[in-house]
Amino acid sequence: MVTRRNVLLGGGIAAAAALAGPSLLRSAQASEGATPKRGGTVRVGAEDASSKDNMDPALAFSGFAAMMCRAMYDSLVKEDATGKPYDSLAEVFEPDATAQVWTIRIRDGVTFHDGKAMTIDDVIFSITRAMTTTGSLAVRSLEALDPKGIEKDGKLTARLKLKYPYSFFKQAFFHPCLSIVPSDFDAKKPVGSGPFKFVSFEDQKFAAERNPNYWLDGKPYLDRIEVIGFADPTTARLNALMSGQIDAMPNLAFTQARTIEGREDIKLLSAAGASFEPFTMRVDQPPFKDPRVLEAFKLMVDREQLVRNVYAGRGRIGNDLGWAQDPYYNAGIPQRAYDPDKAKFLLKEAGQEGLEVELNPSPEAPWNSAAAQVLAQQAKKVGVTIKLAASADLSSFYDQKYLKVDFAQDMFGPNPLSVTAGYSLLPDSPYNESHWKDEKAAELFKLASSTGDSDKARQYLNDFQQLVHDKAGWIVWGFRDSLQAVSGKFGGLEPSLRGVNMHDLSGVWAL
């Protein structure tokens, strides 16, 4: 569970419902004018490896785990570099008119690494396994599915009956935790149908080799991929890239972009992103239980300065809502203005002049501590003292502080509204950092999820987002661009919302 948001860094856990599109990594024949060729090894430096990472897709949470999963396993559906979804193993994945019965038909002729042919039995096994594995994100994302309502229809087709109509059901399958594995799967000896076969995983170093029987003709181009975890996500990784020890660096720190720009041997891949790191406030506890204090904190934030100082200007301001790339994003809500005078007034009215609070910076991104420091300086202008808690490593932060402290930070990838809301903004959400439990918001989300009318869904979700904006314990101050640094020796990589972490590396080749 520790870094589940990194994965949602496409975090799947996605964007529209109609699935059709190109491969996740387009051929560089289009983007670079070169012809793909076979051979070579790519080494990726991961910034969030931990001792909890493993090769079980049902328990994939970190970017490191996502890269392993995307290498060894395949999914029914995926996203391309722009966040547009498309069918992968699934040839058909569609609801009936009620959005309560979904039909899945997989491609014929797909084989696992051990030579076994994939059938719908493996798909049913994978779905059932993921939704019953303690700690899996699928436990939540598939809660609408009735386990007894899965019916097999031949070797390639199944029908999934839901407990209630749910038009966003397909979006859950973008996440690596719902990768398809064989019915005799053993996580210690992983077998999948992905572009690369398992070789080794030890001391936060993963290696896989080319699957010669991959179902996409001609792919993968590389002979081997390696994913290497770094305890130092910034300096050590950049030094490794510049010295040729690694070939790709996901989630480049913004201040490091200047070091890369202009180099001929390293390419900077930049995409206008939708990932964000909100400040989270527990609205079930003082001081944020008082709506005046909550609003004051949202008003005291100079979002332009945060984007400028923390993201080095490589981003855009936020309006206390996530999912900026989602087609249902409510852009009609007026932008919350920077208003320190009103913030002071509200704090005085609430009897909280001279308020002191402790902020727990998240170690999940290298720029989070900088954001916390900028916010602390801004708070002084309204008479608030923000004390920064001592830094903690990932495991300690999520074991000891996450969901417990009053004031903290989180990290979200460019996930759809339905996924983010399901995980963090509903009364029974497992990752409800702000402990916001609004029954009206929950009802609006349920109405949007159960209607097959997109116009009605939009109205329900607009109203839902207004409540999130006004009452939830989130300060979404900005959306950061996605920055990746890759060696100029490789083709097939392009700017992407989710970056290398979520890439299908089957389309990458050595120049």
The domains of the chain, with CATH numbers, are: 275-480 (3.10.105.10)
Cβ partners under 8 Å of residue 1, min gap 6: 61, 135, 398
Q: Is 380 buried (19+), middle (13-18) or exposed (0-12) by CB count in 10 A?
A: exposed
Pseudo-torsion of CA 366, 370, 372, 375, nearest 10°?
A: -150
* CA 290 to chain CA mean position, Å: 31
Q: What Å distances lie between residue 153 and 121, 150, 260, 323, 394, CA to CA?
A: 10, 10, 53, 36, 45
Task: Report the pLDDT value the prediction gives residue 11, as an integer from 0 to 100.
Answer: 42
Phi, psi of 304 (to 5 degrees): -60, -45
Residue 20 has a pLDDT of 28
Position 50 confidence tier, pLDDT thresholds 50, 70, 90: low
At residue 22, φ and ψ (nearest 5 deg) are -80, 180
Residue 322 has pLDDT above 80, yes or no: yes
Report pLDDT for 359.
98
CA distance 68 to 201: 10
Binned at pLDDT 50, 70 and 90, residue 4 comes out as very low
Least confident residue range of 20-34, 107-121, 405-419? 20-34
Structure confidence at residue 16 (pLDDT): 30
CA 248 to chain centre: 19
Residue 65 pLDDT greater than 90, yes or no: no
CA dist., res. 93 & res. 157, Å (int): 10
Cβ distance 306 to 373 under 8 Å? no
Exposed (0-12), middle (13-18) or buried (19+): which is 426, by Cβ within 10 Å? buried
- Which region among 16-20, 101-105, 404-408, 419-423 has the lowest average model confidence (pLDDT)? 16-20
Confidence of residue 139 (pLDDT cuts 50, 70, 90): confident
Pairwise CA distance, residues 219 & 32, whole Å: 18
Give the residue with greater pLDDT, 231 vs 303. Answer: 303
pTM: predicted TM-score of the whole model, two decimal places: 0.83
Q: Beta strand pairing status for 224-229 and 41-46?
A: parallel
Decide if 358 contacts 405 (C-beta within 8 A). yes
Given this model, what pLDDT does residue 23 score? 32
Between 202 and 47, residue with greater pLDDT:
202
Residue of 485, 480, 151 whose CA lies nearest to 314: 480
Q: Which of 15-19, 279-283, 482-486 is the most confident on average?
A: 279-283
Going by pLDDT thresholds of 50, 70 and 90, the confidence category of residue 33 is: low
Q: What is the mean pLDDT of residues 100-123?
A: 98
pLDDT tens profile 282-321: 999 999 999 999 999 999 999 999 999 999 999 999 999 9
pLDDT digits (tens, 9 = 90+) for 159-218: 999 999 999 999 889 888 899 999 999 999 999 999 999 999 998 899 999 999 999 989
Instruction: Quote the CA–CA distance of 263 and 242 in Å, as a whole number.
Output: 10
Both tokens of 64, joined, read: 């490191």
In this structure, what token pair is assigned to residue 486? 């890759």
